[in-house]
Amino acid sequence: MNTAIDKMSALSLAAAIRNGEIKVREACAYSIQKIREEDPKIHAFLTVSEEEAMKTAELVQARIDAGEVRSPLAGVPIAVKDNICTKDMRTTCASRILENFRPAYDADAVERLRAADLILIGKTNMDEFAMGSTTETSYFGATRNPAAPDHVPGGSSGGSCAAVAAGMVPLALGSDTGGSIRQPSAYCGVTGIKPTYGAVSRYGLIAYGSSLDQIGPVAGNVQDCAALLEILTGKDERDSTSVALSHTAFSASAQRGVEGMRIGLPEACFGEGLHPDIRESIYHAADLLRSAGAAVEPFKLDLVDYSIPAYYIIACAEASSNLERFDGVKYGYRSESYTDLQDMYCRTRSEGFGPEVRRRIMLGSFVLSSGYYDAYYLKALRVKARIREEFTRAFSEYDLILSPAAPDTAPLLGSSLKDPLKMYLSDIFTVSANLCGIPGISVPVGTDQRGLPIGMQILGDCFREEQIFSAAGTCERLLEAEGRAVG
Ligand code: GLN
């Protein structure tokens, strides 16, 4: 195992591959070895595609040797969340119902990774169908937090974030419907961004809440995260909501400062219920941004409290419709014993879906049923529109909004699912971005007294990823200069 690879960023690994110091084969062998050593403790991976990865490594090496470098991350190993389709490679959504599902095609995001010569190492654990905040609803068992193995890594992209945090891969893809990239990034001490809705194609992402879902990158630092997002974005005709961004110089932006930027701190996000160490770390990061020339001030952002009920109604409504297709006929698991078609549907879905997914399908069907549609679903859509107006108003004053990514640091394994409502409430800071379609990043800004990582969320208006990266990069540089432990 080439130990020089230990602690290398994705971009520096790619540079070492380009100048011949490290072979692509060595980079992959390193990741595979690290997975063998670490993953029995962490359980971040559901599938490791060792053979295919080593084969691809040789092809990519041959291209690089011939002078054909397809991207700044060519040759770098990457893990992909298991709700993103990979051709002929098991894609389970961490559900029994898709336990043996092998897609016939790659997701658009995966096609882009392959075209950029990244090496797909395997698929990562998650909450079943991305429903959850801890990665404990996985049919295949929970993932552990590398910073503290008796704690959860967050969710639903807990496997992707834990894999990066433990150094098993330098990069991963996650998906974010209500915080599933940002919250586990915060809990694990890595950097992850949910891009503007439509910036990354959802083609091949197994849908949870289609109007909220976005694929995004998870990385060990801001610069790597920016470089990966550059590869993922782009118009895709196969997803009608996909858009071509006009401002995509994320890497260059991540090196820029924040001079003259106006940044708002919503008072409602720093009140009661917030872990004091989180408040302190974010205020400190805000001070650093001030020292770098940004105007940072508190302001009033209304309706924050309504984002959770609106989100859970809309997400469950969409999930109940999206998950209708898993009926034992077209995909995956089918119950072994049944009397007729109706009974087959019923048994297949009861046996194939776990309790959290069943709860959400029932809740979603209820809010869409006649008599309740207006009272719940339609009202939630109206609340969503009001929240969007509130953010539009905020972005007329501020370029960016800072908040915690979560009210607390990673909870202990086994402590969250007992009280699902409390778990839902912990998504308070992340869900608004999905309701509004706006981009948001989580960057590590410190640790609590027990050493658990703290993440700061930076939100921008639609298509303002560049500014987000400038602020995130500035924070990272200044914190590093101070020598603070940030996860
Ligand atoms: N925790 C939220 C939920 O359970 C968000 C999940 C996600 O973003 N996929 O719905």
How far does residue 30's CA lie from ligand 1's centre (Å)?
Answer: 32
From the CA of 177, give the closest atom in ligand 1.
8
Mean pLDDT within 139-154: 98
pLDDT of amino acid 384: 98
**Cα dist from 353 to 96, 119, 315, 336, 481, whole Å:** 7, 31, 17, 15, 48
- The total of other beta-carbon atoms located within 10 Å of residue 356's CB is 18
Catalytic residue status for 156: yes
Q: What are phi and psi of 78, to 5 degrees?
A: -145, 150
Q: What is the pLDDT of residues 230-283, one digit of tens each?
A: 999 999 999 999 999 889 999 999 999 999 999 999 999 999 899 999 999 999
| Whether 82 contacts 159, CB under 8 Å | yes
Whether 487 shows a pLDDT value over 90: the answer reads no
Mean pLDDT within 375-400: 98
pLDDT band at 331 (very low <50, low <70, confident <90, very high): confident
Burial class (CB in 10 A: 0-12, 13-18, 19+), 33: middle
pLDDT of amino acid 94: 98
**Of 23, 34, 81, 194, catalytic:** 81
Burial class (CB in 10 A: 0-12, 13-18, 19+), 100: exposed
**Of 71, 95, 156, 426, catalytic:** 156
Catalytic residue status for 81: yes
Query: 3-state class of 218 per DSSP?
Result: strand
Whether 199 shows a pLDDT value over 90: the answer reads yes
Catalytic residue status for 180: yes
Whether 125 shows a pLDDT value over 60: the answer reads yes
pLDDT of amino acid 250: 98
Q: Is 84 in the pocket of ligand 1 (CB under 6 A)?
A: no
Q: Is 130 in the pocket of ligand 1 (CB under 6 A)?
A: yes
**Of 49, 71, 157, 180, catalytic:** 180
Mean pLDDT within 375-390: 97
| Whether 448 contacts 186, CB under 8 Å | no
Q: What are phi and psi of 212, to 5 degrees?
A: -120, -30
Q: What is the pLDDT of residues 419-476, one digit of tens each?
A: 999 999 999 999 999 999 999 999 999 999 999 999 999 999 999 999 999 999 999 9
pLDDT of amino acid 6: 86
Whether 189 shows a pLDDT value over 80: the answer reads yes
The residue to mutate among 83, 95, 133, 425, having the most atoms of ligand 1 within 8 angstroms of its beta carbon, is 133
Whether 65 shows a pLDDT value over 70: the answer reads yes
